[in-house]
Amino acid sequence: MNYIDQDYDKLIKIIILGDSCIGKSSLCNSLSGINFQHSYVSTLGVDFFCLYYKNNSKTFKLQIWDTAGQERFNSIISSYFRGAHLAILMIDNSNYKSFIRMNYWLKQIDNYAKKDIKIMCLINKTDLEAGIDRQEIIDKMNSIKLPFLFISVKENKNINSIYDLIYSQIKDLPIEEPKKDKIIKVNKNDKKCCLIM
């Protein structure tokens, strides 16, 4: 992972998903600590930060989105999913319920994300006593063909491998260059506009 100033070849939107308290924001802090560019909190209650990843002479700008806790109320807005190229689904290795809830998150992805979105899974908190049988996790991931990693954000375990897994998911994506926002007038008399992203 190299830090490069503004220039990039491809912009990749990555969304982090999963129940509250499984370590999503901790992961973002950990990742952003390496090549932190900026953090942004919008009025929509979404945090994101950017990392630059250079490989084979191509520079990827990874725009990583984290919720600001809305998952607690099952109220993640659909724009969170819009345009995402990769979803990182997290579960908590010490909490069986978070494993069961994977199905809910996969359904949300199916409902709101692009059909060709890539998905990978991180099983966090491996430093704690396991609440899920490891083989059960492996069988599930294989059955739904999700690439996955066991990690511990707290102990910094396998964090570097996350970049490799992200890269393996995004490297072949045909991604259009970032578009400019377009403003169009909806109605001449009524001076409202809408913003097309």
Residues that bind Mg ion (CB under 5 A): 24-25
CA 38 to chain centre: 16
The residue with its CB nearest to Mg ion is 25
80 binds ligand GDP per the rule CB under 6 A: no
Contact in structure between 52 and 61 (CB atoms under 8 Å): yes
Choose the one of Mg ion, ligand GDP, none that binds residue 127, judging by a C-beta under 5 to 8 angstroms depending on kind.
ligand GDP
Do β-strands 58-67 and 10-17 pair in parallel, antiparallel, or remain unpaired?
Answer: parallel
Choose the one of ligand GDP, Mg ion, none that binds residue 85, judging by a C-beta under 5 to 8 angstroms depending on kind.
none
Residue 67 backbone dihedrals phi, psi, to 5 degrees: -80, 165
**Nearest alpha-carbon partner for 125 in 148, 160, 91, 162:** 91
Going by the DSSP 8-state scheme, the letter that residue 23 receives in this structure is S
CB of 70 to ligand GDP, least distance (A): 10
Choose the one of Mg ion, ligand GDP, none that binds residue 26, judging by a C-beta under 5 to 8 angstroms depending on kind.
ligand GDP
Task: Give me the residues paired with residue 51 across strands.
Answer: 62
Q: How far apart are the first and last CA of the chain?
A: 29
Closer residue to ligand GDP in complex, CB, 93/169 = 93
What burial letters (b/e) apply to 135-150, b meaning 16+ CB within 10 Å?
eebeebbeeeeeebbb
CB of 7 to Mg ion, least distance (A): 30
CB of 19 to Mg ion, least distance (A): 10
CB of 68 to Mg ion, least distance (A): 7
H/E stretch holding 51: strand 46-55
Residue 8 backbone dihedrals phi, psi, to 5 degrees: -155, 160
Site string for ligand GDP, 88-127 (x = CB under 6 A): ------------------------------------xx-x
15 binds ligand GDP per the rule CB under 6 A: no
Q: Residue length, the chain?
A: 197
Task: Name which position in 21, 106, 146, 175 contacts ligand GDP (CB under 6 A).
Answer: 21
What residues numbered 142-161 form the site for ligand GDP, per CB under 6 A?
152-154
Q: How big is the site for ligand GDP, counted in residues (CB under 6 A)?
A: 14
Residues in contact with ligand GDP by CB under 6 A are 20-26, 124-125, 127-128, 152-154
